[in-house]
Amino acid sequence: MKLAVVGTGYVGLVTGTCFAETGNQVTCVDIDERKVEKLNNGIVPIYEPGLETLFHRNVEEGRLLFTTNLEEGIKGAEVIFLALPTPPGEDGSADLKYILKVASDLGPILKQYAVIVDKSTVPVGTAEKVHAHIADNATVDFDVVSNPEFLREGVAVEDFMKPDRVVIGTKSERAKSVMNKLYAPLVRQGNPIIFMDERSAEMTKYAANAFLATKITFMNEIANLCERAGANVDDIRRGIGTDSRIGKRFLFAGIGYGGSCFPKDVQALAKTAQDFSYDFRVLKAVMDVNDAQKTKLMPQILNHFGGDLKGKTIAVWGLAFKPYTDDIREAPALDNIRALVEAGAKVTVYDPEAMDNVRNMIGNTVTYAHTQYAALDDADALMIVTEWPLFRTPDFDKMNLLLKSKVIFDGRNVYELETMREQGYTYYSVGREAVL
């Protein structure tokens, strides 16, 4: 099939590359000239495990092309994916300006029937709006389908190639059969393609993200209570996760969720509820708790250093909002860096993938270390914000030599309490007793 993908970010580039891998002819379109130039020069602009190999293979075989020109990009395409940003607007709702602009641009340049697919996360009713914007100037038949994306950054390629399920919202039989054909190679193990109407598909994506954000947040509340009640949240996690009704995943307590999806999607769903005059109380609590959770170690840090961080250096391990990505959108690391700097501390940071993105955002507010150990040199304490695997079994002898004092504030419960006791650390984590 001939496909176009408009918007070549995390979702668009993975979508385009993976559909090229299943034998389709794909053109990716983006307005960012520098990004398209990089892609045309064989450079993948994001870090996503497994993506480079597929990218190079499909580019070399001529199945994956890049352009800034929408008309050229969609020429002859049977399916046109919209993988455009939907950032929060001022009132918290998803801002549809990117999607509706492209929809308006598409109308006059569609030359034959095409299925236009909303891959972005968009509120209920967006497919109808996209349809109306295209129809304003279109001279040919087309269908608009909602096909929300559930991939996780860090394992995006695997998620895309072997999705738990594919959700497709459309009432058009013609569009259904096109989408069925396109996705068939990805669901050969029998995972379902679930068809429904457009509005339900749009809501499914928000329900999934809001549910997961709630699960994390619930566990963070349990962790906060554990600290007061003298219980250990790791044991609670094992105790409840083995119940198949609850499940083992998304039960790890920590300093809150971040990223480009959960915060904005929870907020957008809350706004949708408000638009329909529904008081979605659980969502409001989730947002409040998560906001506070991100910097929940700060009072302990301040308390440990007698209320003042002036003259202190804090090393921060981990900047990305989660491991295996360079994405720092809404990353708790940024809130903690801000709080540490405001309290007078000097901050030295290390992350295996996200340093360039942080440098572009906050420049010389912090010092960038070349290795995780270089960050510790002369530091008064270490703070762990992202649970990259390389932080899990560090060389403690090396750490002991570099750190001025053996103090760790661990926002991701990376170490066992027993290990910290053995190593002689003062250790604060989430939902567990402090090792003093």
Nearest-angstrom CA–CA distance, 297 and 189: 44
Q: Which residues contact 362 (CB under 8 A, 6 or more apart)?
A: 334, 337
HEC assignment per residue over 226-294: HHHHCCCHHHHHHHHHCCCCCCCCCCCCCCCCCCCCHHHHHHHHHHHHHHCCCCCHHHHHHHHHHHHHH
261: annotated active-site residue: yes
Query: By C-beta, is 85 or 107 nearer to ligand NAD?
Result: 85
For ligand NAD, which residue of 23, 40, 91, 101 counts as binding (CB under 6 A)? 101
Query: By C-beta, is 84 or 116 nearer to ligand NAD?
Result: 84
Query: By C-beta, is 164 or 279 nearer to ligand NAD?
Result: 164
Q: Is 211 annotated as a binding residue?
A: no
Please give the residues from 74 up to 93 whose contact with ligand NAD meets the rule CB under 6 A.
Answer: 83-86
Q: Is 264 annotated as a binding residue?
A: yes
410 binds ligand NAD (CB under 6 A): no
Please give the residues from 30 up to 69 whose contact with ligand NAD meets the rule CB under 6 A.
Answer: 30-32, 35
261 binds ligand NAD (CB under 6 A): yes
For ligand NAD, which residue of 120, 147, 214, 217 counts as binding (CB under 6 A)? 120
User: Which tokens sit at 237?
Assistant: 């996690």
Please report, for the chain, how many H helices and E strands are present, in that order.
Answer: 17, 14
153 binds ligand NAD (CB under 6 A): yes
User: Which tokens sit at 110?
Assistant: 């569609």
297 binds ligand NAD (CB under 6 A): no
- The answer to whether the beta carbons of residues 426 and 382 sit under 8 Å apart is no
CB of 122 to ligand NAD, least distance (A): 7
Q: Please choose, from the candidates 356, 318, 323, the residue with its C-alpha nearest in 3D space to the C-alpha of residue 337.
A: 318
- CA end-to-end distance (rounded Å), the chain: 62
Q: Is 329 annotated as a binding residue?
A: yes
Nearest-angstrom CA–CA distance, 220 and 257: 10
Instruction: Check 18, 28, 226, 261 and give the catalytic one.
Output: 261
162 SS3 class: coil
Query: For the stretch 177-186, what's the b/e string if a residue is b when 16 or more beta carbons lie within 10 angstroms of its beta carbon?
Result: ebbeebbeeb
Query: By C-beta, is 329 or 346 nearer to ligand NAD?
Result: 329
123 binds ligand NAD (CB under 6 A): no
DSSP 199: H
121 binds ligand NAD (CB under 6 A): yes
100 binds ligand NAD (CB under 6 A): no
CB of 156 to ligand NAD, least distance (A): 7
Task: Give the count of alpha carbons within 13 A of 3, CB side only.
Answer: 30
CB of 248 to ligand NAD, least distance (A): 22
Query: By C-beta, is 121 or 295 nearer to ligand NAD?
Result: 121
User: Which tokens sit at 388?
Assistant: 């990259």
- The answer to whether the beta carbons of residues 221 and 289 sit under 8 Å apart is yes
What residues form the annotated binding site for substrate? Answer: 150-153, 205, 250-254, 258, 322
Enumerate the active-site residues.
261
What residues form the annotated binding site for NAD(+)? Answer: 30, 35, 86, 121, 153, 264, 329
The site for ligand NAD (CB under 6 A) is made up of 6-12, 29-32, 35, 83-86, 98, 101-102, 120-121, 149, 151, 153, 260-261
